Amino acid sequence: MLAALQGAWGVFGLGLVSVVDGAVDPLTALVVILVAGLGLVGLALAVWGVVEGVRRDRVARARLLEWAALDPAPVRDPRLRAPGLSLLWLLLGFVQCAAGLWLCFAVPAAARPGSTTFAEVVFAMGAGMILWVNGLLGLVKAAGHYRVAVRLGGKPGDPAGARP
């Protein structure tokens, strides 16, 4: 979904930079505005896809916890715990957050009047915001996966629902 979000924002940003920065004839401006509108529609669809993905993840996590609560004996399958997957999600989320925050702060700070336009700064900040929010989703997913893995793979004397 990150690629869809960035692609749609790129199409919108291309239209925004073209209209704001250059003197174009009315027909070209109309085409650019239509393309930017398609970018906004694609962005809305990609956001909807991300929201639905988050909802599905929450439902799956709730069902997994309900399933684990049925049996008080902890699950001993190491593939189910998969601590490396939590670490991978954590690292990828951190990298995305760092890159997004860098784009959101470094590009406006480096902008100089006459060389960098307002549309370019808006485009870079939007791309950074998409990376940052997606990175935060990855961090939440990593923390949730780790909590489920700890809950499902507790100590032999612990009930399955006793851990956070």
For 78-99, write each residue's pLDDT tens digit.
666 667 777 888 999 999 999 9
pLDDT tens digits along 30-82: 888 898 899 999 999 999 999 999 999 999 888 887 877 777 666 666 666 66
pLDDT value at position 76? 66
Q: Strand runs (DSSP E) across 4-147, as ranges? A: none
Rounded alpha-carbon distances, angstroms, from residue 107 to 74, 83, 122, 130, 154:
49, 36, 9, 15, 46
Q: What is the pTM of this model?
A: 0.79
End-to-end Cα spacing for the chain: 29
Q: Tell me, what's the pLDDT at 105?
A: 92
